[in-house]
Chains A and B, each alone.
Chain A
Amino acid sequence: MNTTPILEVRNLRKHYPKVKAVDGVDFSVPTGICFGLLGPNGAGKTTTIEMMEGIIRPSSGEILYKGEPMGPRFKNEVGIQFQSTALQDFLTVRENLKFFSNLYPKNRSMDELIEICALESYLDRDARKLSGGQRQRMLLAIALVNDPEIVFLDEPTTGLDPQARLNFWELINRIKAQNKTVLLTTHYMEEAYNLCDQIAIMDHGKIIAQGSPDQLLSEHFQDVIIELPAQDFPQAAEVIPHRRLAKVNPSIEISTQDVNKTVAELLQAGASLAGLQVRQRTLEDLFLELTGKELRQ
């Protein structure tokens, strides 16, 4: 396997007059992996990925593609799916694919694209009349027309229903299986955990954590979470450090490194363990831990 990372970002910055959207970011994306860029809304994910795509000019910093500054071949070898993409009106899915194919010197066969992205059933439909999931699949196919070495996907599953999201994950796994590099932004932790070999979490224009999901979880957490319904949590148990979650069915979360000890304490306080659950820490916990819980726009 090639050891030069396919993409490398060094001290990347994008400063707008009133905001430092990206404020000194370093990371590298090894060939053939799925790299996830995570962060809350407004963290600078899209600005970062669009600089890496060559769409936005960085204020400073370096972006290396296969160890060299981005040259003319870059656009021929990458595939891009923006967060929102408009296409021309009155064109069918097939015509859009054909159009984008013609813009590249190298093409993937149309039949393959149709099969990978499951476009067969609506190939001749006007692209404006697709459902959210169908549209995302078409846009992914467009990002793949040139058989790219790296695919940028900016929040590809935002706004999709759970079924369509699962379908889309399957597509991304199929692309990964063909040894393509995928660079993905998302704010769904479950998505990142399922798809990404490596992740970087961004907030306020900076990277605040980086590594494989499991590695990050074990670095930040040595505990597990015990959750039980609030009505099962007696007054006597209040001494145990806990967090009350306001949900339709309010619940209590206890973080612990020793489940047996905590459960014994709960029993001693007279708590019912009928609704008790023990779960591992998730990326969601990490994300909330690292980026805080204040509201974002």
Chain B
Amino acid sequence: MNLRRIGAVIYARSLEFIRDRSALSWSFVMPIVMVVGLAFIFSGEGQPLFKVGVIADNLATEAEPSPKLHPFLTTQHIDFYSVAADQQAAVVKKVGRHQVDMLIDLRAGQQHYWVNTESPKGYFLELLLKSSEGAKLTQETVQGQQIRYVDWVIPGILGMNMMFNCLWGVGYVIVRYRKNGYLKRLNATPLTATEFLLGQIISRMVLVVGVSTLVFTLTNLFMHFVMEGSYLDLLVVLIVGTFTLITMGLLVASRVRSEELSDGLLNLLTWPMMLLSGVWFSMEGTNPIMQGLSQLSPLTHTLTAARAIMLDGATLWQVAPHLLVLLAMSLVFLAIGALGFRWTTD
């Protein structure tokens, strides 16, 4: 193992990436556009209506709650909709996530309401409710984090971007090197496969971790994401997750000879990972088989750990099982990738 040679590979590969303006800007612009776009779509800033869930005795789920239940229900420009009693917990959660602005429980002996204290809409609805005639309701606290969808989805978007950058940046690029004969030229030098692969991994690590950190920091400037845990812990998760995804790319890159095949294989890996890893929606409550499959994806473990740190304030120790799974996966990928590595297309 020769550090000078590894350093040379890292430097050359990084130059190539940085000078490839189209690829570089793509890996920056895509996640930013998605974060901003999603924040816009899910923020509900443009909606004139407030959304209030109502639980009451003998209220059918489809029916519109009668104004007779409480004078507050006569208020205009508010969308009152009925909620089944057993849905209470779920809707309270939605209140926490700004998907519903308020929930009121008008059942005899209950008489409560929930608002997200962080939400301006919740504040106004609370004022309206208090100034209305009728039975006085007591405030219940919303359990758990009161977060925005964008807070929940940001690790997903960054994770997806990481996944594409790692898998294509290694899997596709090395296959291209093999096909055009660059690997053959390197094989004629004293450079070993391990040195070459380490150089590729490190170069990609620095770039992907750098890009992800920068995109997170930039979007955080105006999105102000919820951050209950430590940024340092989040960085550790980012590094471990990136490493695992890169080694997964190596697995594809180690033997494949044609760019078309590697492209197909990479798509075959990334699409299920995107759907099953909880990038866009939580896997909770889905089919147990799907949940089992999702555990096979390194992205699932990365995102679960990142969200636990950001949203629940988990420590590194608490997410350690996920990190261990990731490291175990990368060791397997790395071993297969390095042992099976082929320089030429013969």
- A residues with a Cβ closer than 8 A to B are 53-56, 72, 75-76, 78, 80, 82, 84-91, 95, 98-100, 102-105
Contact = CB atoms under 8 A, between A and B. Distances in A.
B314 to A, nearest CB: 41
Interface in B99-127: none
Contacts of A56: 346
A99 B191 contact: no
24 contacts: A54-B188, A55-B184, A55-B187, A55-B188, A56-B346, A75-B188, A75-B189, A75-B190, A76-B190, A80-B188, A84-B181, A85-B182, A86-B177, A88-B12, A90-B16, A90-B19, A90-B20, A91-B16, A95-B15, A98-B8, A99-B11, A102-B8, A103-B5, A104-B190
Contact of B16 (A55, A80, A89, A102): A89
Contacts of A90: 15-16, 19-20
Nearest to B346: A56
B291 interface: no
Interface of B: 4-5, 7-8, 11-13, 15-16, 19-20, 177, 180-182, 184-191, 344, 346
Given A55-B344, A100-B189, 8 more contacts: A53-B188, A82-B181, A86-B177, A88-B13, A88-B177, A89-B16, A95-B12, A103-B186
B184 A82 contact: yes
Contact of B191 (A53, A54, A103): A103
A80 B20 CA distance: 28
B185 A82 contact: yes
Given A99-B8, A102-B7, A103-B8, A88 B16 contact: yes
Contacts of B191: 103
Given A75-B188, A95-B12, A103-B189, A86 B5 contact: no
A151 to B, nearest CB: 12
Contacts of A100: 189
B190 A85 contact: no
Nearest to B195: A103
Greatest chain B CB density within 10 A among A88, A90, A104 is at: A88
A150 to B, nearest CB: 13
A82 to B, nearest CB: 6
Contacts of B346: 56
A254 to B, nearest CB: 47
Q: Which of A78, A99, A104 has the most CB of B within 10 A?
A: A99
Contacts of B15: 90-91, 95
B75 to A, nearest CB: 63
A117 to B, nearest CB: 17
Nearest to B190: A75
Contacts of A103: 5, 8, 186, 189-191
A87 B176 CA distance: 11
Nearest to A77: B190
A190 B177 CA distance: 35
Best-buried of B5, B190, B346 by chain A (most CB within 10 Å): B190
Nearest to B191: A103
A54 B190 CA distance: 11
Given A55-B188, A100-B189, A103-B190, A86 B4 contact: no
A89 B18 CA distance: 11
Given A90-B15, A99-B8, A104 B189 contact: yes
Nearest to A92: B15
A88 B200 CA distance: 13
A78 B344 CA distance: 19
Contact of A87 (B8, B182, B190): B182
A98 B5 CA distance: 11
A104 B190 CA distance: 7
A86 B7 contact: no
Contacts of B7: 102
A82 B187 CA distance: 12
Nearest to B4: A102
Contact of B181 (A54, A85, A91): A85
A72 B191 CA distance: 11
Which 9 A-B residue pairings sit nearest by Cβ, starting from the closest?
Answer: A102-B8, A86-B180, A90-B19, A80-B188, A103-B189, A86-B182, A86-B181, A75-B190, A99-B12
Contacts of B8: 98-99, 102-103
A88 B182 contact: yes
Nearest to A75: B190
Contacts of A75: 188-190
B181 A102 contact: no
A2 B277 CA distance: 66
A89 B181 contact: no
A57 B186 CA distance: 16
A100 B19 CA distance: 19
B185 A85 contact: yes
B293 to A, nearest CB: 37
A103 B187 CA distance: 11
Nearest to B181: A86
A273 to B, nearest CB: 54
Contacts of B187: 55
A80 B180 CA distance: 17
Q: Among the interface residues A76, A90, A103, which one has the most CB atoms of the partner chain B within 10 A?
A: A103
Given A56-B346, A88-B182, A90-B20, A102 B188 contact: no
A76 B186 CA distance: 12
A116 B346 CA distance: 34
B10 to A, nearest CB: 11
Contacts of B19: 90
A55 B186 CA distance: 10
Q: Pick from A54, A82, A100, A105 the residue with the most CB of B within 10 Å.
A: A100
Nearest to A79: B188
Nearest to B180: A86
Contacts of B20: 89-90
B71 to A, nearest CB: 70
